[in-house]
Amino acid sequence: MKLAMIGFGQAGGKVVDKFLEYDKRTGSEIVRAAAAVNTAKADLMGLEHIPENQRVLIGQSRVKGHGVGADNELGAEIAEEDIDEVQGAIDSIPVHEVDAFLVVAGLGGGTGSGGAPVLAKHLKRIYTEPVYGLGVLPGSDEGGIYTLNAARSFQTFVREVDNLMVFDNDAWRKTGESVQGGYEEINEEIVRRFGILFGAGEIQQGQEVAESVVDSSEIINTLSGGGVSTVGYAEEEVEERTSGGLLSRLRNDDGGDELDSAHTTNRITSLVRKAALGRLTLPCEIEGAERALLVLAGPPEYLNRKGIERGRKWLEEQTGSMEVRGGDYPYRGAGFVATVILLAGVTNVPRIKELQQVAIEAQDNLDEIREESEDNLDDLVSDDGDELESLF
Ligand code: GDP
């Protein structure tokens, strides 16, 4: 599936940059066009793969290229004021060649948190292609203001996109790691999961066509209907038969096929369970998910229809959904078989409820402090008997 990716803010830009790197490394060709938008010049300069003419600095007259300092209301205002500059970068994208837009942002900061929903709304008004969001939630140790920003942005972003895929930094935080090093690994994780998911609908010429290949329309149909999505992943190393499946064909001749295929089927079903019950990009209860898509990626000799069918049935039981799609993504040279599960329309997400609770507390606390400090400043500045007069 070919995407036009727009990274808003620092996290958004870095993740889109990583997608481009992944694209170059694997030849998956999912990024048809990429752009980065920011109010901070230094963040745009730190990107490596997004072409320089596709990096848009907005809000120059307001913040002089220094960013909005985690003020997402300002981030949203600036995005609205400078939307024409963003559109300028989008104008150079051959939109007829893309299947969808993907707007990526960290929701805890200012620029992306405020700007991403504004951009999504703008894109939806202008184009007929679906507009998806990839929103990153902050770690719970980042503090009240980040949580408040994320809770408000999440609410707004969900409403403006055709589907919001969520990645929760909090679930992926590792202790004892530098923040930068931590993000590096986290961004790899994001790109691996979504790279395989979107790559599945983008079979290149000359690639082996498997029995039931995932098509981009299946990804689009799973995401359609709006709401919030999460992605599960599991992989297992396998030894690749470099002679293009010759060995497996030889095995067929001496009757080894059945054993082999039973083993393959079992491996697939166990990978499906691991992916669905392991760590999701947004941890949640999978029961009640409205739709799901199961992608099995790997060398063709390790994929089989029976495994996918079983995995699909199991997912139907677990989610209670009747809309579970599944298919292959023949993928040579990686040395692994991987399962990616997209769970769309999830509603039982304790993490979001907790985020909102902390956000409300932070908001009350901020209001209180603001009122108090106004009173305190008044006390300090005015003399007790009100005998002094201001100049003007
Ligand atoms: P902005 O530039 O004002 O939009 O803010 P940032 O993107 O710098 O930060 C917003 C939030 O995104 C932070 O609170 C972090 O939770 C998260 N974040 C920042 N950088 C990264 C990154 O490289 N990867 C990931 N996964 N999250 C990040």
Residue 288 DSSP label: T
pLDDT, the chain, mean: 92
Percentage of the chain modeled with pLDDT above 70: 91
Q: How confident is residue 31, by pLDDT bands cut at 50, 70 and 90?
A: very high
| Residue pLDDT, tens place only, 262-276 | 999 999 999 999 999
Residue 306 counted as an annotated binding residue: no
Separation of CA 12 and ligand 1 centre (Å)? 7
Pocket flag, ligand 1, residue 112 (CB < 6 Å): yes
Contact 133, 123 (CB under 8 A): no
Separation of CA 45 and ligand 1 centre (Å)? 16
pLDDT of 34 above 60:
yes
Q: What is the structure's pLDDT at 240? A: 77
Q: What is the structure's pLDDT at 174? A: 77
Copy the structure tokens of residue 117: 């929903």
Mutate which of 10, 104, 184 to test ligand 1's pocket (most atoms within 8 Å of Cβ)? 10
Residue 110 counted as an annotated binding residue: yes
The SS3 of residue 137 is: strand
Mutate which of 14, 136, 146, 281 to test ligand 1's pocket (most atoms within 8 Å of Cβ)? 136
Pocket flag, ligand 1, residue 59 (CB < 6 Å): no
Mean pLDDT of 110-133: 98
Name the residue with the closest Cα to ligand 1, atom 21.
11
Residue 11 counted as an annotated binding residue: yes
| Residue pLDDT, tens place only, 285-295 | 999 999 999 99
d(CA 1, CA 200): 7
d(CA 248, CA 253): 9
Q: What is the structure's pLDDT at 260? A: 79
ipTM here: 0.99
Reported pTM: 0.93
Ligand 1 atom closest to the Cα of residue 137 is: 16
pLDDT of 304 above 70:
yes
Name which of 349, 340, 342, 304 is nearest 323 in CA terms.
342
| Residue pLDDT, tens place only, 190-240 | 999 999 999 998 866 555 555 688 899 999 999 999 999 999 999 999 987
Percentage of the chain modeled with pLDDT above 90: 80
Domains and CATH numbers, the chain: 3-199 (3.40.50.1440), 228-344 (3.30.1330.20)
Least confident piece of the model among 138-152, 204-218, 340-354? 204-218
Contact 337, 235 (CB under 8 A): yes
Residue 363 counted as an annotated binding residue: no
Residue 155 counted as an annotated binding residue: no
Mean pLDDT of 158-170: 97
Residue 111 counted as an annotated binding residue: yes
Q: What is the structure's pLDDT at 331? A: 84
Residue type, 387: E
Mean pLDDT of 305-311: 94
CA angle 55, 104, 19 (to 5 degrees): 75
pLDDT of 180 above 80:
no
Ligand 1 atom closest to the Cα of residue 184 is: 23
Residue type, 62: R
Mean pLDDT of 354-382: 93
pLDDT of 317 above 50:
yes
Q: How confident is residue 245, by pLDDT bands cut at 50, 70 and 90?
A: very low
d(CA 245, CA 88): 48
Copy the structure tokens of residue 242: 């470099």
User: 136 has which bridge partners?
Assistant: 106, 167
Mean pLDDT of 175-200: 88
Mean pLDDT of 301-323: 95
Mean pLDDT of 171-189: 83
Pocket flag, ligand 1, residue 109 (CB < 6 Å): yes
- Per-residue burial over 356-372, b if 16 or more Cβ lie within 10 Å, else e, is bebbeebbeeeeeeeee
Q: Tokens 């209001």, residue? A: 367
pLDDT of 252 above 50:
no
Separation of CA 181 and ligand 1 centre (Å)? 13
Separation of CA 257 and ligand 1 centre (Å)? 49
Pocket flag, ligand 1, residue 150 (CB < 6 Å): no
